[in-house]
A = this chain, B = another copy of it.
Amino acid sequence: MYCFNNDYSEGAHPKILESFIQASLIQHAGYSLDTHTEHAKELIRKEIKQNDADIHLIVGGTQTNMITISAALRPHQAVIAAETGHINVHETGSIESTGHKVLTQPTPDGKLTPDMIQKTLDWHIDEHMVQPKMVYISNTTELGTQYTLAELEALSAFCRQKNLYLFLDGARLGAALTSPANDLTMADIARLTDVFYIGGTKNGALFGEALVILHPDLKPDFRFMIKQKGAMLAKGFLLGIQFEELFQHDLFYEMASHANETAAVLKKTFADCGFPFFSQSCTNQQFPILPNVLIAKLRESYEFQDQQVVDEEHTAVRFVTSWATREDAVQQFAEDFRRLAAAFQ
């Protein structure tokens, strides 16, 4: 049984674990005030070409979303997200638990546009309704799609004009930036958003997201927020070490590329066999629409998730690869799939 369930089934790149061992018996300052963390932040500031960005290393993604959004908003303010957005669906009401409404718009592909946001603004006009103040997007999205430079520039300009903070959830930012369809750099993202994060958990770290705060209004007292939400890791140097490893050479991009490349093999396999896709993804999540009978056969040897029922006989399913996905496993899958799929062609 091989798993294409998600990109966090395995542990971490060996270099990370080696660095853990080297650092383990040394005494470090607690709560992310250590030298590894300081170094990791410098590496990231260099990567994004912004010297005055505030950077915080946080254990998980839901946590990072919750802290960032609740730190940014006053009690009556709301965040706008795609209906499929992770904060809207898969975080157990984490944002609402901090008092804020998530306003949503349906999207064809998981991506928000200025027009969609404007629709939300149009009917939030007075004090009887919440006040939209932040826009939350993900790159890549929950559907594996990604923003182009032009799209992100349009969103950024729109948000600045409307006085909305733009927050980019980069839990899968590595996959986005190493996709063949990408024309963005990390520096572009830092230039165009007010706050974003660089995902480690889903890209070869044991855990960890690097939150980058650009807008000066979002910076003050942020460590208080981290601590209050239970997210200040005592042994914060573990986060520092991981992001040092990710960014002191190109490990971050290499691992993401590997995930994308193994997913591309899957994608080609599905396409070659004539199956359509639920979304147009060039990244490490692929959503083929398959006959239920074929899905059942595949599940004898492979794990993967249902995404959505398409019709009585077909379901869109999700295959995810990771930094650790074995190339031989992907090749084996391709072979198995072509054989099983032959019956449906």
User: At the interface, yes or no: A229 with Cβ under 8 Å from chain B?
Assistant: yes
Q: Contacts A10-B27, A17-B20: A128 and B5 contacting too (C-beta < 8 A)?
A: no
Contact A10–B30 (Cβ < 8 Å): no
Number of copies: 4
Which parts of A211-252 form the interface with B (CB within 8 Å)? 221, 223-235, 238
Interface size on A, residues (CB 8 A): 74
Query: Do B66 and A230 touch across chains, with their CB atoms under 8 A apart?
Result: yes
Most buried by B among A27, A127, A229: A27
The reply to whether the CB of A182 lies closer than 8 angstroms to some CB of chain B is no
Q: How far is the CB of A100 from chain B (nearest CB, A)?
A: 6
CB neighbours of A12 from chain B (8 A): 24
Give the most central of A26, A91, A201, A228: most B CB within 10 Å. Answer: A228
Q: How far is the CA of A201 from the CA of B237 in the complex (A)?
A: 13
- Collect the chain B residues with CB atoms within 8 Å of residue A224's CB: 76, 92, 127, 130-131
CB of A20, distance to nearest CB on chain B (Å): 6
- Whether a CB of chain B sits under 8 angstroms from the CB of A6 is yes
16 A–B contact pairs at CB < 8 A? A6-B234, A14-B21, A59-B233, A60-B232, A60-B233, A60-B234, A75-B97, A75-B225, A75-B228, A76-B92, A90-B129, A92-B127, A97-B229, A128-B227, A131-B221, A229-B230
Q: Is A113 interfacial (CB 8 A cutoff)?
A: no
* B24 & A225 in contact (Cβ 8 Å cutoff): no
